[in-house]
Amino acid sequence: MLSEPLIRSAVIFHGMTQAETDEALRCLCAEERKYRKGQVILQAGNTTSRMGLVLEGSVTIESNDLWGNRTILSHIGPGEFFAETYAFLRTEPMLVDVSANEESRILFLDLAVPDDSARSAWQALLIRNLLIISSRKNLHLSGRSFHTSSRSIRGRVMSYLNTLSLQKKSVSFDIPFDRQQLADYLNVERSALSKELGKMQKEGLISTRKKHFILLKQQE
């Protein structure tokens, strides 16, 4: 399992030799687990020293309050990580839940590295790569703040779709969310979102079917 290409090519192991990657996997107590759709992987209020690498499937990072309101903060797909900040801090209670978006395989890495590994050559690379992962997450979260800053549903939708178009270098692409998840991510009501998407299609701004979107022209 631990020799599969997705693990070896993961950002956290960038720059390491095969021997260093093997040592890192051993010292970080790499462990694979499987989750069914909807299953909670990590729960708000708990602490963790383990970060997760998605091998198959996907997970969502969610904020769920006591009144049953859900906000989706991020979608994590194959080759991407989650909980690295909490794993690095270790004693900081999580403010979010991590749930399986579908049947998923997760590789956990324990960042509570033993003292006898403190001088290992791979550790400096690990810290550098964790910084890269964390920086990319910060950019993503900043992007979500930008998407939800608009007062209108259309403004939020257009901001999100425009960002994905730039990232994918195409006006035709799939989004990672279903309609309810997209509504939760943009912090709007599902019915209002569906109504607005319908209007945008009638006006010739977009074409959409399920998770696929095509941007047809710029908003006037």
Q: 56-68: per-residue pLDDT in tens?
A: 999 999 998 878 8
SS (H, E, C) the chain: CCCCHHHHCCHHHCCCCHHHHHHHHHHCCCEEEEECCCCEEECCCCCCCEEEEEEECCEEEEEECCCCCEEEEEEECCCCEECHHHHHHCCCCCCCEEEECCCEEEEEEECCCCHHHCCCHHHHHHHHHHHHHHHHHHHHHHHHHHHCCCCCHHHHHHHHHHHHHHHHCCCEEECCCCHHHHHHHHCCCHHHHHHHHHHHHHCCCEEEECCEEEECCCCC
183-207 burial code (b ≥16 CB/10 A, e <16): bbbbebeeeebeebbeebeeeebbe
pLDDT digits (tens, 9 = 90+) for 1-51: 455 788 888 999 999 999 999 999 999 999 999 999 999 999 999 999 999
Query: pLDDT at residue 220 above 70?
Result: no
Q: 0.85 exceeded by the pTM?
A: no
Candidates 1, 125, 6; CA nearest to 54 is 6
Q: Which domains does the chain have, with CATH numbers?
A: 5-139 (2.60.120.10), 153-215 (1.10.10.10)
Whole-number pLDDT of residue 68: 84
What is the pLDDT confidence band of residue 179, given thresholds at 50, 70 and 90?
A: very high
Section 169-176 average pLDDT: 96
Whole-number pLDDT of residue 115: 56
Across the chain, mean pLDDT equals 91
Q: pLDDT over 90 for what percent of the chain? A: 78
Considering only residues 75 and 120, tell me which one the structure prediction assigns the higher pLDDT: 75
Contact 62, 23 (CB under 8 A): no
Contact 214, 208 (CB under 8 A): yes
Angle subtended at Cα 9 by Cα 8 and Cα 14, rounded to the nearest 5 degrees: 100
What is the pLDDT confidence band of residue 116, given thresholds at 50, 70 and 90?
A: low
For residue 80, CA distances in Å to 102, 113, 138 come to: 15, 21, 14
If 0-12 CB within 10 Å is exposed, 13-18 middle and 19+ buried, where does residue 95 land? exposed
Whole-number pLDDT of residue 112: 84
Candidates 61, 105, 115; CA nearest to 84 is 61
